[in-house]
Amino acid sequence: MAVDCDDKTHRELRQLRYQIKKLKYQNARYQQQIDAATCASDDAKQQLDDARQLLDLHYVVKNKPLTLAYFPLLTLLLPVTLPMTIYRYLIKRKQRRKEKRAKKNKSSAKQRNLEKQSGKAHSIVLNAFWKLKEDREQEAFELLETRRSEIPDEIIPLFRSATASDDQTWLDNFNLFLSSLDKPIAVLEASEQPRFNRIRFSPVKAVTDGPKVSVIMPTFNCEDTVRYAVDSILNQSWQNLELIAVDDCSQDSTYEILCQIAETDSRLVVLRQTVNGGPYVAKNRALATAIGEYITGHDADDIALPDRIAVQMQPILDDPDCQASIGYMTRLDTDARFSWPTKVGSYSFNGACRIASISLLIQKEVMEFDLGYWDTVRFGADSELIARAGELLGERLVKLETLTMLCLDDASGLTGHVQHGISVETGMSPSRIEYRDAWRAWHQNTMPEDRFLPFPHHGADRFFDQPENMKVSDDVIKSLKEYT
């Protein structure tokens, strides 16, 4: 069983290696600053040389009157050459403006068309969703059927699964939804648990080669969901992985369940916090111990599709420049009913699947040397990290328009929290909005390569503010000394 029993020497060695890497990173940053200063110095020297040349020219004109003999000739030619010069300039400027306007109009027309199409699809999906919520099932499906040509094929079977009264009807329709997206087929375990907890997938072809991927999973009082969440990672087609589960001082049997599973699969590494610090403290601790070449995350109440890691690793294997990928998820309630429509656009490609922040899969070296850690807050730090990664990597972070996981929509989780979460009805909580505005302001005032976040990112050393209810206590920060 792989549990939290690394000896002191091993921990000190890992910490020393990290400190060396951090010093190398800082040295590289200082070298960049030196290079920039050198370039600035070279520019200043060039400007000084230019000024000297102008001064010499002024001296010649002032002290050699013979050179002024050319001015009468210039005066005679000026009435002829000046109008032609102005005319050519105006013609070229008009042509450039015309080309720029045509390019802008073409881009705007394309964008308006996309917005029009996505707006139609979103409006239809959203209206049908609310009709279902109001028990107007017949009206919802009449709307979807009459506007079928304007919405993706997978929407109607997903909605039909949400109204299923029995397991088989749900399974038939949900598998139509999955097959429309070219995803593996689902099965349901026979038990008394809620339907979402019983979702499993048919096996897919194993991928036995490739770099190791470290999957980080924070856990807290999740004894009802942690087993299927862990199984969905250990049953991935991508075999070369480790799952680091960090129990955040649970009061139920979560830790014991994790240890039981670890006895049967050595790829599961179980760590335990002595003080509850929230998921991002747990994730940062796991990041410091991860041995994989790539890092990704998974929540303790979600289900990863069996090909999730293989699908997300494919663009990285295909393109040496690619350093990260992110997939999409669909939110379902405990009865496995679709529960979260999303506007078609940058966050959703069909109105039903949206960006899964937890699915970010990224090269570990990018985290160690360029990004650092997740912010030291109680909730909401995934979005900040993804924004940092996206602006730093650009096209080297690939958005895969494919379903990679099923996420539980439940009030017991951080996302569904009544006060601090995100709601399909009311949107983001005030504290999340305040936090988002704070980190966005920091991003706007710093270069992407200068946004390395240390761990812990706490107290007076913080780069941007955080709401009071998101703060990690000093006791939690003190407890971190046990692991470093």
Mean pLDDT, the chain, rounded, equals 84
Q: Taking 60 as the threshold, does the pLDDT of residue 448 lie above it?
A: yes
Q: What is the pLDDT of residue 479?
A: 87
Q: Pick the residue with more confidence: 480 or 283?
A: 283
Binned at pLDDT 50, 70 and 90, residue 366 comes out as: very high
Confidence at 69, pLDDT banded by 50, 70, 90: low
- Mean pLDDT calculated for residue range 171-200: 96
Residue 28, pLDDT > 70, answer no
Tokens of 287: 């990041």
- The residue ranking higher by pLDDT, 369 or 110, is 369
pLDDT surpassing 60 at residue 410: yes
- Distance separating alpha carbons of residues 278 and 298, to the nearest angstrom: 15
The whole-number average pLDDT for the span 102-130 is: 63
* Percent of the chain's residues with pLDDT above 70: 74
CA atoms within 13 A on the CB side of 2: 14
Tokens linked to 390: 């996206």
* pLDDT of 299 higher than 90: yes
CA–chain centroid gap for 200, Å, is: 26
How many CB atoms within 10 Å of residue 212? 16
| Domains of the chain and CATH, by start | 194-483 (3.90.550.10)
Contact predicate 153/180, CB 8 Å: yes
102 CB-contact burial (10 Å; exposed 0-12 / middle 13-18 / buried 19+): exposed
> Is residue 80 pLDDT above 90, yes or no?
no
Model pTM greater than 0.95? no
State the pLDDT at residue 94.
73
pLDDT at 417: 44
Phi, psi of 241 (to 5 degrees): -145, 160
- Asked whether 213 and 244 are in contact (CB, 8 A), the reply is no
State the chain's maximal CA–CA distance in angstroms: 106
- Neighbour-count burial of 460, counting CB atoms closer than 10 A to its CB (0-12 exposed, 13-18 middle, 19+ buried): exposed
- pLDDT score of 113: 47
Contact (Cβ atoms closer than 8 angstroms) between residue 277 and residue 472: yes
Q: How confident is the model at residue 345 (pLDDT cuts 50, 70, 90)?
A: confident
Report for 85-94, 325-334, 408-417: range of highest mean pLDDT: 325-334
Banded model confidence at residue 343, pLDDT cuts 50, 70, 90: confident
Comparison of pLDDT for 88 and 310, the residue scoring more:
310
Instruction: Tell me: pLDDT of 110 over 80.
Output: no
pLDDT band at 166, cuts 50/70/90?
A: very high
